[in-house]
Structure 1
Amino acid sequence: MTEIRLHDVELLPERTLGTPGDDGPLRGRLTFGWDLLPADHPNAPADWLSYVSGASDRAFRQLLMVCSFRPETPESKGVFRHASLGVALSTPNGEGQPVARLIDPGERTRPLVGSGTGMSFTVSTGVLGVGVERPAGTETTTDEWIVRGHGTSQSNPQWEFRGVKRFPLAGDHPVAALVELVPDRTNTAEVLIAAELEHRTWGVRRYRARLAPSSHTIVLAE
């Protein structure tokens, strides 16, 4: 098992007409972390291992990422409504493009059931585990997505996060991509995170995360 270390990031408000003058950066509301693992790690998902074994002449890396959303505080107002995590895969001078052959999740849902239902997330080496905890005797009425991934077999995968009824956007949300590398080139992943928060007085405001250089541009292979 590996532990992904999370780092605080600032959320910078997007300036629009009517933006309050005292609307400064939000701190302590979002953390982000990542890890890079070999594609054939024994704890990788079975379909990833099968894909890699069928393409032994190509090079891959697992890129694991976690966004953690914190509840509002008296010093930092606003409730997370929606967020997105985008990754732009590239090489210098456009000498070929890395591709996210597989992503996880394609969709992660939360069952809307009676009280007492919860969800647990675990992040282990090469495996993103999501467990749904249902008390005995309850039945799922409907499933609504809380994380949705886009961009399989593309160079710009993206994940959306949202809260659903009775369950706000909060806590740790892991995602991952199996990246096919361009050989003999420096392969990088540029990370962008945006979020919408709903304020009682300002309404819905949009923010962009200010990431440290080591998280904004991740070197996948050199």
Structure 2
Amino acid sequence: MTEIRLHDVELVPERTLGSPADDEPLRGRLTFGWDLLSADHAGVPGDWLSYLGAAPDREFRHLLMVCSFRPETPDGQGDFRHASLGIALSTPDAGARPVARLIDPGERTRPVPGLGTGVSFTVTTGVLDVGVERPPAAGPAKEEWIVRGHGASQPNPQWEFRRVKGFPLVGDHPVAALVEIVPGRTNTAEILFAAELEHRTWGLRRYRARLTPAPLTLVLAN
């Protein structure tokens, strides 16, 4: 079992017309951690092992990352609505680039109650109005994605996180990439993160993560 140390991340608000003048960075709402593992370590997804077995002459690394979203606090208001995590893989020269051959998850879902329908009747001054009502938590549950990955077989994969009904965007969300590295060169991954929070007073506000050091660049291989 891999234990990842999480680091506090400061969320810097994007300045927009009408944003409050005293809009300060959010602290204590997001932590981020990572680990670089051998591609065939215990616990790697089964389909990754199959992929590795079909490419014995190539070199890979397992990049594991965890975003941990924390609930609203008096000093850090707003609920996470959506967030994105991206990595930009590169080498110092203009030659071949490392590639995220496989990513995990492609999609992570949760069952969300569907909406049923009913008929409502309202009588107002002798006029009968017939409408359709959709009672909450009615109807069969359906799977909605809460984490979705993009960019397999690309040097710049990305994951999106979102809240859905009954599942706020809080807690730990691990993601991973099986990176094919370029032998004999320094392979790096630059980490990029953005988030959108919903405030009761300000509405939707967008933030960029101030990762330390800025930009946060992980060395995958030398």
1:140 Cα deviation after fit: 5.9
Partner of 1:39: 39
Contact 1:111 1:140 in 2 (8 A): no
2:13 pairs with 1:13: yes
Partner of 1:159: 159
Partner of 2:61: 61
Cα separation, 2, equivalents of 1:58 and 1:175: 23
What secondary structure, in the 3-state scheme, does the structure 1 residue paired with 2:172 have?
Answer: strand
Matched AA of 2:162 = R
1:215 Cα deviation after fit: 8.0
Partner of 1:211: 211
- TM-score, length basis structure 1: 0.86
Equivalenced residue count is 198
Q: What are the Cα deviations for residues 64-122 of structure 1, in whole angstroms up to 9, with x where unaligned?
A: 000000011111111100000000000002221100000000000001259xxxxxxxx
- Which consecutive unaligned segments of at least 5 residues does structure 2 have? 115-138
Cα RMSD after superposing both structures: 1.6
What secondary structure, in the 3-state scheme, does the structure 2 residue paired with 1:185 have?
Answer: coil
Partner of 1:175: 175
Partner of 2:98: 98
- TM-score, length basis structure 2: 0.86
Cα separation, 2, equivalents of 1:217 and 1:28: 22
Q: What are the Cα deviations for residues 54-73 of structure 1, in whole angstroms up to 9, with x where unaligned?
A: 11111000000000000111
Q: What are the Cα deviations for residues 132-152 of structure 1, in whole angstroms up to 9, with x where unaligned?
A: xxxxxxx96201000000000
What secondary structure, in the 3-state scheme, does the structure 1 residue paired with 2:73 have?
Answer: coil
Q: What are the Cα deviations for residues 9-67 of structure 1, in whole angstroms up to 9, with x where unaligned?
A: 10000111222110010000000000000112132111111111111111000000000
Q: What are the Cα deviations for residues 194-220 of structure 1, in whole angstroms up to 9, with x where unaligned?
A: 000011111100000111129810000
Which of structure 1's runs of 4+ aligned residues deviate more than 6 A? none
CA pair 140-180 structure 1, distance change in 2 beyond 3 A? farther
Q: What are the Cα deviations for residues 164-206 of structure 1, in whole angstroms up to 9, with x where unaligned?
A: 0121100000000000001110000000010000111111000
Matched AA of 1:30 = L
Contact 1:88 1:155 in 2 (8 A): yes
CA pair 190-196 structure 1, distance change in 2 beyond 3 A? same
Partner of 2:130: none
- Which consecutive unaligned segments of at least 5 residues does structure 1 have? 115-138
What secondary structure, in the 3-state scheme, does the structure 1 residue paired with 2:48 have?
Answer: helix
Q: Within 5 A, what are the aligned runs for 1:63-82? A: 63-82=63-82
Partner of 2:129: none
